[in-house]
Amino acid sequence: DTEVTQTPKHLVMGMTNKKSLKCEQHMGHRAMYWYKQKAKKPPELMFVYSYEKLSINESVPSRFSPECPNSSLLNLHLHALQPEDSALYLCASSQGTGTGGGNTIYFGEGSWLTVV
């Protein structure tokens, strides 16, 4: 089973709302990622968690707050977002962080976020 599950699939939120995106994997993967994808563009990395610790933050605005409660779960807390933050947010995971040549990175179906 190579499944990364993301909820919700669609989210509409106002600029003053607080919401969260959730991601779950049961493959025993120890690295998890958040990517953002705008329409007709490739995904761009936001955050990397390795062994439940934040290892990369790609200068993401603080209105996005990641959290890794345990090795299977990854959350993205959203607060005071702007309309330009509307995008597809993709969660991904890999068994490790590439030791030995690389581990396949598996993506979820994404959460479509619309900020109004």
The verdict on 66 binding another protein (CB under 8 A) reads no
Q: Which stretch binds another protein (CB under 8 A): 16-24, 49-57, 61-69, 73-81?
A: 49-57
The sheet carrying 64-70 orders its strands as 4-7, 18-25, 73-79, 64-70
**Cβ pair 23, 35 in contact under 8 A:** no
Considering the complex, what minimum distance in angstroms separates the CB of residue 107 from another protein? Answer: 4
The verdict on 103 binding another protein (CB under 8 A) reads yes
With tokens 């900020």, the residue in question is 115
User: Which of the 8 DSSP states describes residue 72?
Assistant: T
The verdict on 8 binding another protein (CB under 8 A) reads no
The residues binding another protein (CB under 8 A) are 2, 4, 6, 31, 33, 41-45, 48, 50, 55-56, 58, 88, 90, 92, 94, 96-110, 112
